[in-house]
Structure 1
Amino acid sequence: MARAKLTRQERSWVLYDVGNSAFVLLATALIPVYFASIAEEGSSVVVAWGYAETVASLVLALLMPVLGSLADLKGNKKKFFIGTVGTGAIALAALGIPTAAMAFLVLYVVASIMLNGSMVFYDAFLVDATDDERYDEVSSQGYAWGCIGSCVPFIACLAVVLGGPSIGIPMDVGMKIAFLITAVWWVAFSIPLIRDVHQTHYKERAEHLIRDTFGGLWKTVKRIFKDKRLRYFMLAFFCYIDGVHTIIKMSTSYGTDLGIDATQLVLALLVTQFVAFPSAIAYGRLSTRFGTKRMLPVAVFAYFCITLFAAFFLREALEFWILAICVGLFQGGIQALSRSEFGKLIPKEHANEYYGFFDIFGKYAAVMGTFLVSVFTQLTGNSSMGVLSIAVLLVVGFVLLWRMPERE
């Protein structure tokens, strides 16, 4: 790792982004294409994939505040992290087993829930891995190295899937190998965090676990809405992250519905990762100079423009390449700064609990976004109208961020 300024704990925390991003990239680029190959003829990949993502996000949003509150107890955070990574990696490796579309989607939903659950605990480990003044830098480094590091197993997966037929490996067998490669990579890069980052902020174990857990959740809800700055930020995040998650999750399915060649889609999304690497680091440094309050609205406005471009101009492979590059410029920055800004606003000993609610807002936004895209696509028969439906929420998120009170 090039940045000598990162401590061992910070580097180990950053490396998990390298591990989990491999699954995120595979789920964005190849898995929807593979799903389209086993789906029933005539069915819309966008609609089916959108509903699957909606179910995964909804289940996760319901579970994470409770699990987060339990993970805040002394000694629990790492156990929950290991449990979600292990279960998710097994489900990911098993994705090559089903031959029916519905069975595949069920297994994918399980793997997706575990992936995103592990990322909540991972985000909460930020407060243990570094100091307040380093949040923006370390969080941005995580997204940056996650983008570039995930390309290594992904390129290996592409070589097996696309190049396999030339050496006698059928494409479906190549996908099975790709699932295994990604699962092993995910687990391997979780080991440094498990070894080096320890829970230094925690709640003491309570005598009445269930009562105190749900009582604590209610107190957290009240604290969130009592704190004006935190309230504005959470509502803004709910709105703008909708567009971010929906574009990331639905881009390949949307391109497939438009008839763009699968190879073009995959290679364009690979370019997104390379563009996102320097962009995320640059965003972390710009936020140090100009402040997160200024840099986040810039990224939200950019995503609004990207959404309009996707709805009105995306028709051919060239436009998809342009879209992929534009997403890469802002994807890492907006997510990294959102994560670090939230960490600055919350009490450290309740990090998992708060990040559980952070995840609720993010996942319900993802539910809304993927659901809106699926419903409007189904109603209008036009994928472009589905994409356009999320632009309004980006505008609301921008306004709320702009009006957010200054830190006292």
Structure 2
Amino acid sequence: MARLKLTKQEKSWVLYDVGNSAFVLLATALIPVYFQTLAEPGSSVVVAWGYAETIASLLLALLMPILGSIADLKGNKKKFFVGCVGTGAVALAALGLPTTALPFLIVYVVASVMLNGSMVFYDAFLVDAAATDDRYDEVSSLGYAWGYIGSCVPFILSLAIVLGGGAVGIDMALGMKIAFLITAAWWVAFSIPLIRNVHQTHFKERTAHIIKDTFSGLVSTLKKIVKDRKLRLFMLAFFFYIDGVHTIIKMSTSYGTDLGIDSTQLVLALLVTQFVAFPSAIAYGRLAGKVGTKRMLLVGVFAYLCITLFAAFFLTSAVEFWILAICVGLFQGGIQALSRSEFGKLIPKEHANEYYGFFDIFGKYAAIMGTLLVSVFTQLTGNPSIGVLSIAVLFVVGFILLWRMPEAGK
């Protein structure tokens, strides 16, 4: 697959990124466009979509530390993973049933929570799948890289059905129903290797007082995070910079729609992002091994600050959107992959789900702040560019905190 020779467990772990990324791409590129056809005429797609993403992030942030702590018990991690994938895939397939905006958003929130819930357990499986700690950066980067390129297969098929289906009598509504089914099936299919081949090798032993021990364990973990300066600074930095990353991913298509950019141009530009992100994510993983994970994260955060400023001040046409999409592709996979792997190096392996639950809190509460900021400022000013500009300060704060984080071994 790459210069790094992967074990069977590592390949199986990487393949799940291929599966779940298909839903992520569909949610980024096509679902907001389809939602616009269900929304009330004259309503802002950015506002409604932003609030829906905020609710999904809030639910996930509240649930995952508790479920993650329980999942750390011997034999539980895979059960929770399977439950999230199964429920999420059913909800995704059912997205074709609602014919009005509110029911559609409700089903979408369920599917989104399950998708991101599965990602918490998937991230925690990195410590079980990777052979050694020094392989985390490159294995994690390969997951994002192959996820980007692999997700294009069902997406291109879905795109052909949705945009070209009219030639054979398939309208957009029916085309999207088929796209939801294709993506759900793809997601399930690529979860099977992980379910079969990756096993929970790091775990907590079961006790007689699971609920009590779960909450006491969460309090203990939180105290450890606060006391560990390097981990504390990393998580605070992550809280801010991943806010902007997630917000740009989630809101890019709806933002472009509000600016009046043609939906076909938006979708094709985001598809190009996937192809650019494939080699970029792999390169990020290799460079991290040479110059250090922290340095590569700082490069990514600064690049995203520049991307945000470009979007706020210069994005007015499809050409600028294409430039923006290519720039995002250069850094998106790298910053996410290295954040995931760096965190895995800092935590005790037997408490991986519990720690990744807090990791997800920081990521998802940040996503709440980001999407909420964009929605509120867009609604108050009537100018989507002002909403996008509010994200820039989060990258600045994230960069400063990450810069202050001690290097490895200090």
Query: What is the distance in 1 between the residues matched to 2:48 and 2:185?
Result: 28
1:94 is matched with which residue?
Answer: 94
Query: What is the distance in 2 between the residues matched to 1:169 and 1:374?
Result: 34
Deviations 1:90-118 (A, max 9, x none): 00000000001000000000000000000
1:43 is matched with which residue?
Answer: 43
State the 1:211 CA deviation: 0.6
2:26 is matched with which residue?
Answer: 26
Is 2:73 aligned against 1:66? no
2:151 is matched with which residue?
Answer: 150
State the 1:171 CA deviation: 1.3
AA aligned to 2:16 is Y
State the 1:270 CA deviation: 0.1
Query: What is the distance in 2 between the residues matched to 1:394 and 1:206?
Result: 42
Question: How high is the TM-score relative to the length of structure 2?
Answer: 0.99
* Partner SS, residue 202 of structure 2: coil
Is 2:209 aligned against 1:208? yes
Q: Which runs of 5+ in 2 are unaligned?
A: none
State the 1:407 CA deviation: 2.1
AA aligned to 1:138 is V
Is 2:181 aligned against 1:169? no
State the 1:199 CA deviation: 0.1
Poorly superposed stretches of 4+, deviation over 3 Å: 1-4
Query: What is the distance in 1 between the residues matched to 2:133 and 2:56?
Result: 32
2:329 is matched with which residue?
Answer: 328
AA aligned to 1:265 is L
Query: What is the distance in 1 between the residues matched to 2:390 and 2:345?
Result: 32
1:134 is matched with which residue?
Answer: 135
Query: What is the distance in 2 between the residues matched to 1:406 and 1:11?
Result: 30
Deviations 1:313-349 (A, max 9, x none): 0000000000000000000000000000000000000
State the 1:194 CA deviation: 0.2
AA aligned to 1:243 is G
* Partner SS, residue 150 of structure 1: helix
Query: What is the distance in 2 between the residues matched to 1:2 and 1:72?
Result: 31
Query: What is the distance in 1 between the residues matched to 2:2 and 2:186?
Result: 21
Deviations 1:271-293 (A, max 9, x none): 00000000000000000000011
How is 1:323-402 mapped onto 2 (pairs within 5 angstroms)?
323-402=324-403
Q: Which runs of 5+ in 1 are unaligned?
A: none
State the 1:46 CA deviation: 0.1
1:124 is matched with which residue?
Answer: 124
AA aligned to 2:71 is A
Query: What is the distance in 2 between the residues matched to 1:166 and 1:100?
Result: 26
1:53 is matched with which residue?
Answer: 53
Query: What is the distance in 2 between the residues matched to 1:286 and 1:188?
Result: 32
Query: What is the distance in 2 between the residues matched to 1:400 and 1:38?
Result: 42
Query: What is the distance in 2 between the residues matched to 1:157 and 1:2?
Result: 28
Is 2:313 aligned against 1:312? yes
Is 2:252 aligned against 1:258? no
How is 1:163-242 mapped onto 2 (pairs within 5 angstroms)?
163-242=164-243
Q: Quick one: percent identity of the two aligned structures?
A: 83
